[in-house]
Amino acid sequence: MKVCIVGNGKLSNSIFVGLKENYNPIKWELFDIKTNEKIIVIHAGSGRQFEECVNYCNRTGSILMELSTGENISKDNIECPIIVCPNTAMPILKMMNILKINGKTFSDNKVRIIESHQKDKNTVAGTAVEIAKALDIDNKEIESIRDIKDQLDIGIPKDYLNLHAYHKIIIEDEGCEVIIQLKVLGHDAYVKGTIKLIDVIDSKNLENKIYNIIDII
């Protein structure tokens, strides 16, 4: 199935280049949206073209992969499969699945969630939001690090300050501390994971509704 990439940021460009070996991706702005071709649309943009993508997928029954938290998706009048992917790195998704199944186990513990991304990211990371949901923590309690000095202090290499994703979960009890650390440097893990996810999604007979990628894999 043809794959169309939406967005012109670092991640979307990395995915576009990375998919060339396995697929023949096309940029959304070069794709003729007047056609009726059934495709996979990977939305990794700012959101400016999101409604246009949903309209196309609804009309053609195409599959939409949203590489975000999916908070901007209306649950009304969904006529295509929409897969929300707050992360595409496979080890991260596996850990998020474990937390989703077992997160409530820590409901009687003090839990902190810390995330770090490039300094110009002005929103809380989607992965952190999903982790908070799994652990029943309010999003407002997520601690975000954007200061370069602080990022160096937590072990982010200088070469990856503008291209990293870091999440730390601290679970505390009296005299006991459990730390889970998730770190992605660069975009290779996201690209490889996206390729695997496309293969999985393309092999399934998905209904016209919103899915979380964790529930599919």
Q: 101-158, pLDDT tens digit by residue?
A: 999 999 999 999 999 999 999 889 999 999 999 999 999 999 999 999 999 999 999 9
Q: Is the pLDDT of residue 72 over 90?
A: no
Calpha distance 8→20 (Å, rounded): 16
Residue 70's pLDDT band (cuts 50, 70, 90): low
Asked if residue 25 lies in contact with residue 47, where contact means CB atoms within 8 angstroms, the answer is: no
Q: For all residues of the chain together, what is the average pLDDT?
A: 94
| Structure tokens that stand for 64 in this block | 């939409």
Residue 140 has what pLDDT?
A: 95
Q: Is the pLDDT of residue 43 over 70?
A: yes
Residue 217 has what pLDDT?
A: 85
Calpha distance 93→113 (Å, rounded): 17
Q: Is the pLDDT of residue 67 over 70?
A: yes
Residue 17 has what pLDDT?
A: 95
pLDDT by residue (tens digit) across 23-41? 999 999 999 999 999 999 9
Which residues pair with residue 177 across a beta bridge? 172
Residue 45's pLDDT band (cuts 50, 70, 90): confident
Query: At 164, is the secondary structure helix, strand, or coil?
Result: strand
- How many residues are there in the chain? 217
Residue 22's pLDDT band (cuts 50, 70, 90): confident
Q: Given the DSSP bridges, would you call strands 176-185 and 164-173 parallel, antiparallel or unpaired? A: antiparallel
Non-local (6+) Cβ contacts of 34 within 8 A are: none
pLDDT by residue (tens digit) across 158-195? 999 999 999 999 999 999 999 999 999 999 999 999 99
Nearest alpha-carbon partner for 168 in 217, 130, 113, 129: 113
DSSP code of residue 167: E
Residue 61: left if φ>0, alpha if ψ -120 to 50, beta else—which one? left
Task: Quote the longest CA-to-CA distance of the chain.
Answer: 63
Q: Is the pLDDT of residue 69 over 90?
A: no
Q: Which domains does the chain have, with CATH numbers?
A: 3-84+189-216 (3.40.50.720), 90-186 (3.30.360.10)
Residue 159 has what pLDDT?
A: 97
Asked if residue 129 lies in contact with residue 139, where contact means CB atoms within 8 angstroms, the answer is: yes
Of residues 84 and 72, more confidently modeled: 84
Residue 76's pLDDT band (cuts 50, 70, 90): confident
DSSP code of residue 145: E
| Structure tokens that stand for 141 in this block | 């309690």
| Structure tokens that stand for 207 in this block | 């209904």
Q: Is the pLDDT of residue 71 over 90?
A: no
Asked if residue 137 lies in contact with residue 111, where contact means CB atoms within 8 angstroms, the answer is: yes
Other residues' Cβ atoms within 10 Å of the Cβ of residue 80: 23
